[in-house]
Amino acid sequence: MEWIDLDRLQRIARQESFEKQSYGRIADFLEHLKESNIVRNLLEIEHLFYPKYLWQEDKDLELYFFTNEEIVKCGIDTNEKFFITKRYTKNITKIEITNLDISNNDIQLNITFSKDDELIFSSDNSNIHWKYKYFKKIIELYDLL
């Protein structure tokens, strides 16, 4: 099975929305996100797509788009409003892989920015069925940065 993209995620969320309200929220979020010019512009250039907390219903889905120059995070805040945060790769001060255990597909990537702001990505950012895919995607992300 291959990595998921924004279109496939939207299709799955729409299908699941009939049984689970949380997926309807995700489907609406993705529809609005795709209509925004910010994300449309990102989709037109080479990027790495990383959905954090995918298939974890107890956490809010966060979508990351990585390019050579930017890291864009999209999500829904506690007031059910969409937000987009942009960070620049030129402000990265440290990239670190921790908790590496190849036999269990465990990995964590810590990205630190100049103001001690940090992004953390882990192979546990999805369910157990996607752990290996997240392990591989984090290595790809490390190579990109």
pTM of the prediction?
A: 0.90
Domain spans of the chain? 6-144
Task: Check if the beta carbon of residue 76 is closer than 8 Å to that of residue 60.
Answer: yes
Q: What does the pLDDT look like over 9-38, one tens digit per residue?
A: 989 998 988 887 778 888 888 888 888 777
pLDDT band at 1 (very low <50, low <70, confident <90, very high): low
Task: Check if the beta carbon of residue 86 is closer than 8 Å to that of residue 64.
Answer: no
CATH topology of domain 6-144: PH-domain like (2.30.29)
Burial tier of 125 (Cβ tally within 10 Å: 0-12, 13-18, 19+): buried
Q: What does the pLDDT look like over 45-78, one tens digit per residue?
A: 899 999 999 888 788 899 999 999 999 999 987 7
